[in-house]
Amino acid sequence: MLRKGIKPDNYTYPFLLNSCATLSALDQGVETHGRILRTGFVMYTPVSNALIDMYGKCNSLDQSRRVFDEMLERDVVSYNALVGAHARLGEEMDQAQRVFDRMPVRNVISFNGMIVGYVNSGDLDSARRVFDRMPEKNVVSWTTMLVGYAKNGFVDSARFLFDTMPERNLFAWTAMINGYAQNGRPSEALELFRRMEKARIKPVAVTMTGVISASAQLGGTELANWIGSYVDREGIEKNEKVLTALIDMHAKCGNMEEACRLFDGIPCPDVFSYSALIAGLASHGHGFKALEIFRKMQEEGIDPDKITFVGVLAACSHTGLVEDGLRFWDRMVKDYQIKPEADHFACMVDMLARAGRLAEAHEMVKSMPEGPHPGALGALLSACKTYGNVEIAESIAKKLIVLEPENTGNYLLLSSAYASRGQWEEAAKVRVAMKERRIDKLPGCSWIEV
């Protein structure tokens, strides 16, 4: 357009700035801003409004506020654009509140912007106060509050809002289903999905990621196969997130052949896809294959994250590759600056304990920054029984009994460790302690009906 000598006007620039905002193209947005200043179109309110919005969506809050402050005339869109810039980042909400309070006119977008901002900043109490003050709410208002509650673990509060909504759209159903799935309540997620089906609301890809996640948590092969068929039958878009969720689901249900097939169908797998496959292979006895996939991931130039390393360390543990595991641990900490978490420590303790390197495993347990993890302690205690190390077993058992006082297995492992060394008197004392605390060994049972 410029090369043809056609000059843009005040109608051109808002569309151009909207494009920069959509693409998060800050450099081109700044260049366009300079052209606007040189040509004088900044005096048009819609152009300045588009600038505020562009800078906000490009995470440049200071520039959004600067454009707003320099405006000679502002309308409700100007105020909403600045509130929206704060809301997107969930930052400096005290300043956003001052802007909101100064607004001569407010509409539902103004209130929704404040709710989004407070939700993104984690201040649900303030978000709820704004929500309750609204003279008129729309489905966005309700859904934003619902998402805020679910994201912060208040699933029952989210469900109360969902049930009281005057109208529900696809996004509300999706938010509630994903809220249940993300908070470890898969049965309720699937029950709601069935209700959604009965209401004849067709799910989309983002809905199905929550449904697939819930199915993965339940771990049933039959359910997983039905979900996979449903995605195909209903023509759900198999984007990367859906495929990754399907890989994770089939992997957790033990169907590694299907998980690998789905992985091979992703044109450009990302770190999440690789991590799901690596974790699945590692947990189902395919440790060498998991490490082979990890090497392929590195060859593709994709940096691993903390989830990837849980799978890699588990693979090393299950295959007995202790030195490789120690090397990966060092790379995780030094090369990728990933702070080890409980799951990483548990994998390392399990790996060292399986190899009989109990002293090293014990030191690893003692170095855990947030204190001993029951899973890591249990793995070490079990290894102490195998290798007859009563000294470490005693130390570990005492910690486990404090953390899990009702767990029968901890007492039995300690008793067995004593027995393996012929320390019958100590083994008997453990069993006496169980009786005194009224802790009974769980009886065997069968699911087979007679």
CB within 8 Å of 342: residues ≥ 6 apart: 368, 370, 373, 375, 376
**Any residues with CB less than 8 A from the CB of 114 and at least 6 apart, and which?**
83, 87, 96, 97, 100, 127, 130
CA distance 355 to 281: 21
C-beta separation of 186 from 215 below 8 A: yes
Residue whose token pair is 């990621």: 209
pLDDT score recorded for residue 3: 93
Cβ–Cβ < 8 Å for 235, 268: no
Q: Quick one: the chain helix, strand, coil %, rounded to 5?
A: 75, 0, 25
User: Looking at residue 401, what is its pLDDT?
Assistant: 65
Cα torsion at 212, 217, 220, 221 (round to 10°)? 50
Dig out the tokens for 128 from the structure: 């709820």
Output b/e per residue, 192-228; b: 16+ Cβ within 10 A: bbeebeeeebebebbbbbbbbbbbbbeeeeebbbebb
Q: Cα–Cα distance between 275 and 313 in angstroms, integer?
A: 12
Longest alpha-carbon distance in the chain: 98
Amino acid 423: pLDDT: 55
The pTM score is 0.77
Residuewise pLDDT in 10s, the chain (450 residues):
999 999 999 999 999 999 999 999 999 999 999 999 999 999 999 999 999 999 999 999 999 999 999 998 999 999 999 999 999 888 889 999 999 999 999 999 999 999 999 999 999 999 999 999 999 999 999 999 999 999 999 999 999 999 999 989 999 999 999 999 999 999 999 999 999 999 999 999 999 999 999 999 998 889 999 999 999 999 999 999 999 999 999 999 989 999 999 999 998 999 999 999 999 999 998 999 999 999 999 999 999 999 999 999 999 999 999 999 999 999 999 999 999 998 899 899 889 988 989 889 888 888 887 777 777 777 787 787 778 777 787 777 767 766 665 556 555 555 655 555 555 555 565 555 555 555 544 444 443 433
pLDDT at 417: 55
> 325: which residues sit within 8 A by CB, 6+ positions away?
313, 316, 317, 347, 348, 351
Residue 18, CA distances (Å) to 69, 78, 159, 245 in order: 20, 15, 35, 32
Q: Rounded to whole angstroms, how far apart are CA atoms 323 and 318?
A: 13
Q: Which residues of 63-78 are buried (b: 16+ CB within 10 A; e: fewer)?
A: bbbebbeebeebeebb
Residue from 366, 312, 321, 373 nearest 342 by CA: 373
Angle at 168 between CA 167 and CA 173, to 5 degrees: 165
Structure tokens given for 324: 């490789």
- Whether residue 143 contacts residue 127, with contact meaning beta carbons closer than 8 Å, is answered with no
Q: How does pLDDT run across 353-405, given as a tens digit for each residue?
A: 889 898 898 888 888 877 777 777 777 877 877 787 777 877 777 677 666 65
